[in-house]
Amino acid sequence: MAVAERQTTRVSLFGRVADDITRRPVPAAEMSVALVNGRQTAIEKDDGHFAFVDLEPSAPGYQIRIGGPAFHDRVVTMPLPAAAPVQVTFAGEDELYLRIGSVTATQNRVGFEAIGFVRTIPVGSQVIGEGGVTTTLGEPIEGIAVQSAVLASVAGLGATQLLRVVRSASLVAKPSPYYPFPARTTVLAVHVVENDPAATPVAGVDISITAINTAAAAAKTLGGLSLKEFALGGAAASFIVLDDLHLTTTTNDRGDAVFYFPGEKPVTAVDIALAKTGYQPATAAVAVTAGQRKFQSVVLNRV
């Protein structure tokens, strides 16, 4: 009697990657997803989805490297406590941060500083506010020059508070210095070199934003997520809200790193701090022009 052998493949970790600028899925040809130890490369699809199969359960988790030619390399750790599939997703990834300017209770509407363009965020998407407030979108947020949103409820919300609007469970791929940024994006490109005759590029330098337009950040926590709110000053009373993912970056093998902001925000100066083991810490105050690219070279001295 012949016996047919059957092999079963089990999905262990899965997720989806979206472009941080466009919020569109990143196709497989533009993105690499693999375990750090090199044991396995993810199965990837052109709709941004990826999956790892037949992994052994691991409480400490697996380190996953995500990156591509136009995207910043990042490593995330995801536990796999049992054989059941686990989605690789984290709070604060594919989200929109808003600072409330007004609340119209009769319409369940909140107003905020105009956003140049918002790719559709559907009805029912989760909204998280300060003080434990949670609600959902009552109408889609989408389009050009968006400056208000209708919620299922505005109870507990008030002017100057922050909101998190959750677009999806996708991970975001941050642009690298070689990303084709859209016109009118404010870009700060940093190049870090060693203080030697060859001006050797320094990889692995941690760079963080310490102030924008000379203003330090106000710390806020929404639903367990740490956010930093920067007042940009001026008559328009503009603000920028950043999470840890966008507050920091790391130089690549060429010593390059990049920060970026919506061009409609009146960003005129960015203060940064640089650190790497074996080198003296450094700071730089960089003047920028909203909607344009600024190149800044920083020299590090060895300890």
pLDDT, residue 236, reads: 72
**∠ Cα 262 218 187 (to 5°):** 25
pLDDT, residue 3, reads: 47
> What span, in angstroms and rounded, lies between the C-alpha atoms of 62 and 219?
30
For residues 50 and 29, the answer to whether their CB atoms sit within 8 Å is no
pLDDT, residue 7, reads: 53
Instruction: Give the H or E element holding residue 300.
Output: strand 293-300
Which CATH number among 2.70.98.10, 3.40.50.1370, 3.40.140.10, 2.40.30.10 corresponds to the domain 95-166?
2.40.30.10
Domain 177-300 has CATH 2.60.40.10: yes
Query: Nearest Cα to 119, choosing from 46, 172, 162, 66?
Result: 172
Top CATH class, 11-80: mainly beta
Cα distances from 235 to residues 114, 178, 231, 238, 266, in angstroms, run: 15, 34, 11, 8, 11
> What span, in angstroms and rounded, lies between the C-alpha atoms of 31 and 69?
8
**pLDDT (tens place) for every residue of the chain, 303 residues total:** 454 455 557 999 999 999 999 999 999 999 999 999 877 999 999 999 999 999 999 999 999 999 999 999 999 999 999 989 999 999 999 999 999 999 999 999 999 999 999 999 999 999 999 999 999 999 999 999 999 999 999 999 999 999 999 999 999 999 999 999 999 999 999 999 999 999 999 999 999 999 999 999 999 999 999 999 999 987 678 999 999 999 999 999 999 999 999 999 999 999 999 999 999 999 999 999 999 999 999 999 999
For residues 159 and 103, the answer to whether their CB atoms sit within 8 Å is yes
First to last CA, the chain: 74
Domains 11-80 and 95-166 alike in fold: no
For residues 52 and 62, the answer to whether their CB atoms sit within 8 Å is yes
Q: Which residues pair with 169 in a beta bridge?
A: none
Domain ranges of the chain: 11-80, 95-166, 177-300
